[in-house]
Structure 1
Amino acid sequence: MRRLEGRVAIVTGAASGIGRATAAALAAEGAAVMATDIDVAGGEETHGLVRAAGGHAAFLAHDVTSEEQWIAVVTATVERFGGLDILVNNAGIATGMAVTDMPLEAWNRQLAVNLTGVFLGAKHAIPAIRKTGRGGAIINVSSVAGLEGAAGLAGYCAAKGGVRLFSKALAKECAAARDGIRVNSVHPGIIDTPIWSRIDEGGLGAEAFRASSGANRLSPDLIAAQGAPLGFAGQPEDIARGIVYLASDDSRYVTGSELVIDGGWTA
């Protein structure tokens, strides 16, 4: 069953990890997918993988903090595929350090990518989705860090918490407009994506975690074993399946909700 046949989607941060898996999953369900990312090489690779699997896709270089680029991406998507039905705001970054050590630029950059980028995507996608007259879905990727605090990740938590409540407010706006657009947030736990290689290089508070855990090398399974009852890390496809559900008519009565996919981390 191809649940998204005839639908058109934009997926940001599609060059790797959850974004790549989501682009592939939406395309496998029949959607035409505009994959976007600032990582052009990775984005082109995602495009090639989706096409090789028989999916309908295109790729655009895209900085989600730029309103001009959002306008261009939405316009190009509608021109290329004939409309827009689904927006997946997935692009995100994290900078791990204590608040007292964090440069203002690092704080602002996290808010710009993780939260302002979500706002801009919704602002410019909603009019395009409304024009189809068939409703649609906006899925904003937050995090378990948008549900609970994490030492050394205050900027990331603030931004992802903002995504959670922005999604709820926007869901009510769309419901009041009776435009058929549902808005939900997704909250991944520890997922095995390329971000962990950057942690091993010293990002995201790696040294503090090593000191507390006694580990010489970080891995998603090691982190998950300490905090997720299931005891192992998730895969990008685990998140992508949840996003497909929220994008499809299977979730026709779901809006303003948060889908937590975390192996029990927040339980």
Structure 2
Amino acid sequence: MPARTYHAPTGGLPPQTQLLTDRAVFTEAYAVIPRGCLSDIVTSQLPFWDKARFWVIARPLSGFAETFSQYIAEVMPGGGSDRPETDPRAEAALFVMEGRIRVAIAGELHEIEAGGFAFIPAGTSWSLHTAGEAPARFHWIRKAYEPVEGLGAPEPFVIPNEAEIAPNVMPDTDGAWATTRFMDHDDLRHDMHVTIVTLQPGAVIPFLETHVMEHGLYVLEGKGAYRLNRDWVEVEAGDFMWLRAFCPQACYAGGPGPFRYLLYKDVNRHPKL
């Protein structure tokens, strides 16, 4: 299988001649952040990180998203952090799009290249630095872990490349729609799942999914038309979608290549009352 490529932002600013009309939208049920919005002026720095900046593309908001935050991190050569996380409740999922990172998790060192994934349980000591002479760009998904008495906590794990996981083909699709699952979906210790959804050109999600799970979707590759609540929205590699619980959703893959996105959802827990 040829090596995958993933669209990652590099910053910059559009020229003064660019029209202001764009696809960015924020509604009561969903948000779309097109890749053109990920400019230099919307990055943040974080405590205890060196030579790094972050696009914060999701965070809990009153009356909207509830369960997670998501960043796109850009760490320059020689940069990183010995104390990346300041909240002991936060678990982390990392997905590398460009470059290489060295991640020490509970004292065990891993080097992860583009296409690699790491899960870090809440309360686990970890550090992260770039490896090599190129910037590293990766997703960092954070969630306050919800422990359940009697289940225990999940262990950390690293998957060097998504290609090592056999995709789970959706029933009755002849391979047109598949998911690459980083977490074991039968392991109820996990309260979030992160997957890569792949739709071949012309494939569809053929019904309006309407469910309790909140979503973050970052388009890694290709383009498609996404139905979000009442609207059809065109999206392409580098765009991010944020879906509130129960937001109806479906899509068409536009081609000419596969339409692929990184997907977060909260799972396996009773709703808070």
Output the TM-score relative to the length of structure 1: 0.30
Larger relative helix fraction: 1
Higher fraction of strand: 2
Q: What TM-score, normalized to structure 2?
A: 0.29
